Structure 1
Amino acid sequence: MVKLSKCSYLAWELGSAEAGALKQEYFTENELLIGICSIEKIALLIKENNINFNQEYADDINMENNELTDFFSRFNLEQSNIRRSIRELIEKGNFNSESPMLKRSETCKKVFIEAEIIAINMKSDTVRCIHILKAIFTNPTNIIKIFFKEKGISLDELTTHLDSKMENKTTNSSSNHILIKHGKNLTQLAKQNKLTPLIGRNEELLQLVRTLNKHKKNNPLIIGEPGVGKTALVNGLAIKISDGSLKDFLKDKEIIEINMASLVAGTKYRGDFEEKITDLINETKENSNIILFIDEIHTIFCAGSTNGSLNASNMIKPALVNGDLVLIGATTLLEYKKYFESDPAFERRFQPIILNEPTINDTLLILNGLKEKYEDYHNVKISQEAINSAVNLSVRYIQDRNLPDKALDVIDEACSRKLIPKLDITNSLHIETVVGEEDVRNVISDWTGIPILNDSSQLEKAQKIESFLKSKIIGQNQAIEKVSNRIKKAYVGIHNPEKPLAVFLFLGPTGVGKTYLSKILSTFLFNSEKSLIRIDMSEYKEEHSISKLIGSPPGYVGSDEGGFLTNAIKRNPYSIILLDEIEKAHPKLFDVFLQAFDEGRLTDGKGNTVNAKNCIFIMTSNIQLDTNQDYNRAFGKTQENINTINILDNLAQVMKPELVNRIDDVIIFNPLTKADNESLVRLYIDEINERLFSEKTIELKVKNSVCKYLVDKGYNKKFGARYLKRTVEKALEYPISDMIINGEVKKGDIIEISAINNNLEFKVK
């Protein structure tokens, strides 16, 4: 006696429940057919993890569901339509059964007996749903005859196709047991419209078809960076095969995607994995219409590899040579070099197809082609402005990913956010359903941490840059104007896109605001000083310290860690890079920056190119102080009177001309005057007052005489603002700290400070 398969028994239960719902006295072939067609609902629930079955049970159901789906799709029949139509043809009864399992009718019992005979003849160890189907179609009920007659389908044709489908079955399972259990039939999924359509890529698809049509070396290997559409190309081929738009040699082909993880899973003992691979090869040989597809094909080099055993790549080599196996692989260029080039015998069995990142125009076509699919899924409308922004902004701001993947992810995220604007949406009365440009900007801004404004907001912000910097930086108006002009050009988008946003060299004595201007500029552009990548060049005095910036070359210690600068740019492609005190570094260090300053590209120790075109490079130095100690002559003049040619000549004496020639602006910072120092003192006092009030709710009231007193005490043309700041700290912060500790000042008090007889007087009010 042959037992029912798990799926057949499930179909029996579903059919019996259907008969009970229709208040039938007996469970007939009609309800049994409905039960068989309900298997796809159970398989879908398993896939979505909405129902718990053990893995073996789930695999059996999925395997038979794939068989059923394949069978019905051959005749353009949808199982949901069969269920609905048969249910409508059955007259509802009035029998109420107390048992969940109804008795079978005599004809239904004969169907199961006939199905068992069919299973025995097919040398199957279980009665599967396709055996039951053949038994039903051999002796159909009137309702089943009516249904298929209305569809214009002959029952003889159905049974003939079932006979051909059940030929050459093994005693354990169908001949495609391994393919069904560990694979996914892309061609059948394409017939069910479950694959994303391929937009564009006509040349690559043509090359793929031509490779499959070759007599030898007909195994295509799709090579491309992550996210460029390697899997989508194979899905596109499956769609072309399913709709019959390709030539005869691919007309009846089926593309099966093999899950390598599923093949390896459960291989507890030595030989289990090899047996699975052998069965896979044999089943594919027996079905000449099968084309295998392995995504991330480089994984077969490691799959099953243990001491004394063969890995998967060595096992399938002979089949690839003889043409018994047609295999499509997909991998990245890095993995191709690492695995395939190390095994030339395996490499030559494949025909590489290079898949490059699509252009912006091609990506726009792809997004427009897929727009309707995303709209239907999210139940929103996507504007053309949103699509244009998703492509252009992702290219500009998301540097570490490729088109079209990153643009599609942006659109997907924007649609999701439109429907779920916040965690608690139960009280939302209305949710806008049109995804626009603003939604896309918000997504990319959150992903990258870069504030992305619309055109009008950008222009408005660009107008404020000069006034903002002047409010924070004292006494360097000419320097601020030069920096502002260069940044404004980048803001409106008329700078050369093949170069960095700006390359500055700040020259001036110590303590005049060179480094501080860089920090304030970072705060203005990116709302945070964290986007300032500060490199203290005094740490790079040795020639070999270059490796700290770009990473050690292969073979050296730390080669896998990367460099500080290259890693920082990869993480924050929009940033300000401050090279502080460049005269302290080894001269050869700046050879690394020649291409960075000129074309916005850096190459790390591994040979990977880092995009620095969205960076602002700022170098600070007091080179002229080392060549001329007369500060009045070196930095005392206003910038209008400084001869730029002389500055460049002086720089060329200590820096290579090719480096100087790549600097956009050499900006001279003047020594601070007494008037500038008074403004600085007022700024420092405001900072102290703000900290005191926020921490202790203590307020400072400082008279003008105090500012003059502090300037007289702290003004030093040679040491600049830092010396003045230390003077303010000693004169104000130290005494106030003592007063708070001693209990002289409490929360809510006001400290009034005045200068009397060349001394500061503190009064608490």
Structure 2
Amino acid sequence: MLLVRGREYLAQYPNFTLVGREHDLERISSILIRKSSNSLLLTGPAGVGVSMLTLGLQAIKSSPDTPFDLIVKKLFWLNCDALFSSGDSAKINNEFQSILKKLKQTPESVLIITDTANFLEGAHNTGNAHFINALNNADKSSNFQVILEVRDDKLSSVLKASTKMPELYTLYDVKEPVGDDLKAIVSVVAKDLSEHHKIQITEDAIDEAIHLTSKYRDSLGLGGAQPQRAISLLDRALASYRQLTHKQHPKIVELMDKIAKSTNEVEQQDLQQQLEQWQKDWQELKSEINKTYQYQRDAETLRFQLQDEITQLQEEEDNSNNSQPTTIKTFAQFTAGGFDSPAVAKLKEKIRQIDTEIAQNNNQHQKLVMLANKDLRLNRQEVITEFSKVSGIPANKLDENEVENLINLEANLLSRIFGQDSIVKHVANSVKVAKVDELEESGPAMSYLFLGPSGVGKTEMAKALAKYVYGDEKSLVRFDMSEYMEKHAVAKLIGAPPGYEGFEAGGILTNSVRAKPVGIYLFDEIEKAHPDVFNIFLQILSDGRLTDNVGRTVDFSDIMIIMTSNIGQPYYLDPNLTDEEARGLATNELNNTYRSELLNRFNGRENILHFKRLPMEVIEQIICREINKLNQAYQHRGFTIEISDSSISAFCHDHYDLIRGARGLPGYIKTNIRPFIVNHILQNPNDKGIFSAVYNQQTHSFDMTFCKI
């Protein structure tokens, strides 16, 4: 069937329930009942549930609250696989024209194509590339409408297929659900998962799946967008948990753990008795389940054998019929007319008996499995364990308390950012306010402008915030604004206009935010960007939203914006100026360079932060930190690196450059000290001992020695 009616299509999903998408359905419905541009181009990332919305349209038609103008719409789904299956270009064209004719003759009809990119590819491959124009012409000249579903990464190819798209279609971008809507959707699907796996899912497991898949978006193998990511994680966690528990029931593990921890002999004896009884009952239950498995296999094998015998008998009877004279009517000839011979009938009766026994055995098997699973519940910890396997992030890190992380944020930042204590305190407090305060404000989650000389911790601050606030330094996305100096830079960020080269690629910034809507976006050296780019910055900082070249809006409300600027560099580097004097002069230059409305967007300029020059004692602290990192890296091999305070001080005085700041010093450690250590390990893999580094002021390098222990 090339066209599937809405009721029939919905019947394929007997348990379908659409929740958390009421606003989207309302918007889509209002578009469908408009007079013009009332066809829809539904787009969204993979896994967001675009197809569920069109199913929801059919489902709400039975609701008494649905507008009459929508109830009268007749929804039809196009079966693209059936349409293109023949590969015959002429036949496919005739069938498609018949579809269009039927839609024209059916008042208030709506054609839904679930994978528009696949439809266009199929049309092109069969020599029917004109289908999209034929569809659009029919849509424009008649009273039927079209809903095209397309993944956002395929949207540009669909828009290029016809110039009439903007005129006929309203683009509707399906966003990832969040908050209560996301939980409602995942909870509904979790019921189906629970029924499939026959394991209950606790609410905290659902919450944790949503939390982890929202926070760590770069993890592989979990689908593209919410809610699919959380659903995939729950499904995987259930499968892993079921395998694990069928080997050893959690109650047995719990009793064994209690016995190991107990110090009371009487209690231990009681627990041991419980454990032995549980182990006995569990083994008996597993044995019964295995018997049903074995019976199922044996019965199915016998059934296949009987079916083969029937086929062989029927072939022999057919051959016998062909060898008989046509004037003689044998029983075999009568059976060829539709009756079974006694031998075949007997075998078929055996198969019916086996089918009955298989069904009874299957019922018994299901009861035993339900009994085995009755105490099993997927909890938060199992979800964390599974996500750890998927992401490679240690489970203990995933289990960290976010409240504790916020409480410890200042201390964690201070462990990485030296010499900028007041800035660390300000940033930590503002992050806590943004995370805990529930005031609804436009704009990104947080926004900062960092000023100051090079190598004083601006980029390191961004990396540290990515790790301690968003859980991973990979959540930091950096844009080097020196790459956006030309006038067409805006097009690079949000996408080129229709008809221009690169239109189909979209914008680098908008694409990135769509793919990663949570994290830190660092815009480095903003003074190098073209002036037109600052209009984009102003829109982001003011509204927290940005519209790309095809009309899709991206949301910055869960993103921390950090911008850096080299404004005032001569003042910061002037040794004759104090930090306060340099800050004042840099602020004056900042005010003369950028518009007030832009600067005011950084929390009323409170988040314009001036990083100070680093004194020599702080530079020495940074080198000590690098040496500690080396010791941690080689400790498991039995090596220690020792450098005296005097050597560190002499090294810093020789190599510290005010222009580069502390940036070059850790690199020196990597290129001069570490090679000596690595070469020694390669040549003497069984050695253990102490590497000593003594700074030689004549050669301006470290003299390395090794003392074996």
With normalisation by structure 1, the TM-score equals 0.57
Describe how 1:463-502 pairs up with structure 2 within 5 A: 463-494=407-438, 496=440, 498-502=442-446
Report the counterpart of residue 594 of structure 2 in structure 1. 655
Shift of 1:658: 2.2
Aligned partners of 1:634, 1:624: CA distance in 2, in Å? 13
2:617 aligned to which of 675, 685, 695: 675
Report the counterpart of residue 55 of structure 2 in structure 1. 232
2:234 pairs with 1:418: no
Contact 1:374/1:412 (8 A) holds in 2: no
What SS is found at the alignment partner of 1:554? coil
2:608 pairs with 1:666: yes
Contact 1:397/1:573 (8 A) holds in 2: no
Shift of 1:643: 10
Aligned partners of 1:257, 1:516: CA distance in 2, in Å? 53
2:114 aligned to which of 296, 312, 319: 296
Describe how 1:253-272 pairs up with structure 2 within 5 A: 257-268=77-88, 271-272=90-91
What SS is found at the alignment partner of 2:164? coil
What SS is found at the alignment partner of 2:662? helix
2:570 pairs with 1:626: yes
Contact 2:410/2:428 (8 A) holds in 1: yes
Deviations 1:651-670 (A, max 9, x none): 11222222222224122222
Shift of 1:385: 5.8
| AA in 1 matched with 2:662 | A
Aligned partners of 2:30, 2:550: CA distance in 1, in Å? 36
Contact 1:507/1:623 (8 A) holds in 2: yes
Report the counterpart of residue 92 of structure 2 in structure 1. 273
Aligned partners of 2:96, 2:530: CA distance in 1, in Å? 58
Count of residues paired in the alignment: 559
2:642 aligned to which of 701, 706, 719: 701
Describe how 1:65-464 pairs up with structure 2 within 5 A: 179=1, 182=2, 184=4, 187=7, 194=14, 196-197=16-17, 224-226=42-44, 227-228=49-50, 229-236=52-59, 257-268=77-88, 271-276=90-95, 294-296=112-114, 311=131, 314=134, 331=149, 342=164, 373=192, 375-383=194-202, 406-407=226-227, 410-411=230-231, 413-415=233-235, 417-421=237-241, 427-430=247-250, 433-434=376-377, 457-464=401-408
Greater RCO structure (CA 8 Å; 6+ sep): 2
Larger of the two Rg values belongs to structure: 1
What SS is found at the alignment partner of 1:578? strand
Aligned partners of 1:714, 1:321: CA distance in 2, in Å? 76
| AA in 2 matched with 1:709 | A
Contact 1:505/1:618 (8 A) holds in 2: yes
Report the counterpart of residue 493 of structure 2 in structure 1. 549
2:481 aligned to which of 531, 534, 537: 537
With normalisation by structure 2, the TM-score equals 0.61
| AA in 1 matched with 2:598 | L
Shift of 1:623: 1.9
Residues 554 and 674 of structure 1, relative CA distance in 2, 3 Å threshold = same
Residues 560 and 425 of structure 1, relative CA distance in 2, 3 Å threshold = farther
Aligned partners of 1:633, 1:764: CA distance in 2, in Å? 45
| AA in 1 matched with 2:623 | V
Aligned partners of 1:384, 1:714: CA distance in 2, in Å? 57
Residues 304 and 500 of structure 1, relative CA distance in 2, 3 Å threshold = closer
Aligned partners of 1:478, 1:487: CA distance in 2, in Å? 14
Residues 578 and 437 of structure 1, relative CA distance in 2, 3 Å threshold = same
Residues 683 and 411 of structure 1, relative CA distance in 2, 3 Å threshold = closer
Report the counterpart of residue 544 of structure 2 in structure 1. 600
Report the counterpart of residue 713 of structure 1 in structure 2. 654
Aligned partners of 2:685, 2:31: CA distance in 1, in Å? 85
2:567 pairs with 1:747: no
Report the counterpart of residue 259 of structure 2 in structure 1. none
Residues 663 and 273 of structure 1, relative CA distance in 2, 3 Å threshold = same
Report the counterpart of residue 570 of structure 1 in structure 2. 514
Aligned partners of 1:761, 1:304: CA distance in 2, in Å? 72
Deviations 1:693-720 (A, max 9, x none): 57x7543222333223323433455553
Report the counterpart of residue 524 of structure 1 in structure 2. 468
Shift of 1:461: 0.6
Shift of 1:732: 4.6
Aligned partners of 2:20, 2:679: CA distance in 1, in Å? 75
Contact 1:701/1:751 (8 A) holds in 2: yes
Shift of 1:265: 1.4
Residues 556 and 712 of structure 1, relative CA distance in 2, 3 Å threshold = same
What SS is found at the alignment partner of 1:472? coil
Deviations 1:200-238 (A, max 9, x none): 9899999999999x9xx9x99666445353332354268
What SS is found at the alignment partner of 1:421? helix
Shift of 1:594: 1.1
Shift of 1:537: 2.9
Contact 1:522/1:532 (8 A) holds in 2: yes
Identity, % of aligned positions: 25
What SS is found at the alignment partner of 2:687? coil
Contact 1:274/1:304 (8 A) holds in 2: no
Deviations 1:607-661 (A, max 9, x none): 43322222222222342223576334252x4xxxx79887543311222222222
Residues 421 and 661 of structure 1, relative CA distance in 2, 3 Å threshold = same
Aligned partners of 1:689, 1:608: CA distance in 2, in Å? 50
Contact 1:204/1:355 (8 A) holds in 2: no
Structure 1, gaps ≥5 residues long = 1-178, 400-404
What SS is found at the alignment partner of 1:662? coil
1:589 aligned to which of 533, 537, 549: 533
Contact 1:197/1:239 (8 A) holds in 2: no
2:582 pairs with 1:764: no
Aligned partners of 1:728, 1:200: CA distance in 2, in Å? 54
| AA in 2 matched with 1:687 | K
Aligned-CA RMSD value? 5.7
| AA in 2 matched with 1:376 | E
2:458 aligned to which of 514, 520, 524: 514
Shift of 1:191: 7.3
